[in-house]
């Protein structure tokens, strides 16, 4: 990603009064449904080539919390829904452990189409797709973000720091407090990370419950 490209884009948005666009339509779910249909044929980056289904995101359009993962995997590409494969099943359990249902939150990813063989999405792909996420945040206006994994964290906070660095502090994205934890797929690969992930979730839960 060109240095600071994301930051520059966000500055531009701040000054462009883009929120006006959503004034006419008061129902957030309707807006998201229309935008889903509009973007589902996107060809802005090479990931469209492997797309079976565009995975925009799903959940409560009025959610207090938005969860942001990395990219759709195989099952997501087939179903058009985020986090429905093995990692998604673990995510559901993680949510239940902090007293949340999937339907309470909104879940999406940095990129909306599956990278071939589940490789990490590249910088140009992330930059091409990020406006969709920014727009989802503008519509839903969550009060807290949970960022799942290093790729999503490095993208949103525009750095190359470690997961540990990201987990150690509270961040902000578009003015919204953002907490970083392990990606559930990483927890499936290495269960030693489950205890520290549980700590992250408890911190997140405490903040979330203050906001409701």
Determine the distance from the C-alpha atom of residue 203 to the mean position of all C-alpha atoms in its chain, rounded to a whole number.
Answer: 19
Number of Cβ atoms within 10 Å of the Cβ of 3: 8
List all residues 6 or more positions away from 92 whose beta carbon is below 8 Å from its beta carbon: 83, 102
The Cα–Cα gap between 191 and 180 comes to 18
Nearer to ligand URA, 89 or 210 (CB): 89
The Cα–Cα gap between 140 and 60 comes to 9
Only segment of 36-44, 145-153, 190-198, 202-210 that touches ligand SF4 (CB under 6 A): 36-44
Q: Does 128 bind ligand SF4 (CB under 6 A)?
A: yes
Count, residues near ligand SF4 per rule CB under 6 A: 13
Q: Which does 70 bind (CB under 5 to 8 A by kind): ligand URA, ligand SF4, none?
A: ligand URA
The Cα–Cα gap between 65 and 118 comes to 26
Burial (0-12, 13-18, 19+ Cβ within 10 Å), 198: middle
Q: Which does 72 bind (CB under 5 to 8 A by kind): ligand URA, ligand SF4, none?
A: ligand URA
Query: Can you tell me which of 6, 31, 32, 45 binds ligand SF4, judged by CB under 6 A?
Result: 45
* Interhelix angle 123-140/28-39, nearest 10 degrees: 160
Handedness of CA 145, 150, 156, 158 (dihedral sign): positive
Closest distance to ligand SF4 from the beta carbon of 66 (Å): 17
Nearer to ligand SF4, 130 or 144 (CB): 130
Nearer to ligand URA, 59 or 69 (CB): 69
Q: Does 70 bind ligand URA (CB under 6 A)?
A: yes
Query: Can you tell me which of 84, 100, 105, 111 binds ligand SF4, judged by CB under 6 A?
Result: 111
Query: Can you tell me which of 59, 80, 82, 142 binds ligand URA, judged by CB under 6 A?
Result: 82
Q: Does 57 bind ligand URA (CB under 6 A)?
A: no
Nearer to ligand URA, 18 or 118 (CB): 118
Query: Distance of CA 95 to CAs 65, 81, 104, 192, 202, Å?
Result: 11, 17, 10, 19, 11
Name the site residues for ligand SF4 (rule: CB under 6 A). 39, 42-45, 47-48, 111-113, 125, 128-129
Name the site residues for ligand URA (rule: CB under 6 A). 69-73, 76, 82-83, 85, 87-88, 109, 185
């Amino acid at each position: 990603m060109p240095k600071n490209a994301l930051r520059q884009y966000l500055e531009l948005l701040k000054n462009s009064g883009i929120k006006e666009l959503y004034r006419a339509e008061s129902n957030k779910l309707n807006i998201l449904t229309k935008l889903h249909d509009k973007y589902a044929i996107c060809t802005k980056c090479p990931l469209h080539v492997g797309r079976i289904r565009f995975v925009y995101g799903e959940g409560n359009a009025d959610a207090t919390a938005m969860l942001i993962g990395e990219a759709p995997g195989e099952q997501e590409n087939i179903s058009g829904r985020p986090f429905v494969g093995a990692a998604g099943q673990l995510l559901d359990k993680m949510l239940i452990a902090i007293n949340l249902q999937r339907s309470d939150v909104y879940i999406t990813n940095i990129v909306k189409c599956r990278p071939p063989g589940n490789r990490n999405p590249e910088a140009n792909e992330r930059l091409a797709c990020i406006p969709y996420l920014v727009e989802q945040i503008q519509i839903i206006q969550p009060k807290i973000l949970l960022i799942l994994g290093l790729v999503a964290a490095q993208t949103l906070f525009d750095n190359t720091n470690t997961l540990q660095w990201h987990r150690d502090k509270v961040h902000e994205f578009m003015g919204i407090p953002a907490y970083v934890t392990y990606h559930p797929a990483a927890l499936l690969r290495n269960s030693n990370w489950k205890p520290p992930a549980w700590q992250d979730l408890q911190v997140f839960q405490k903040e979330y419950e203050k906001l409701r």
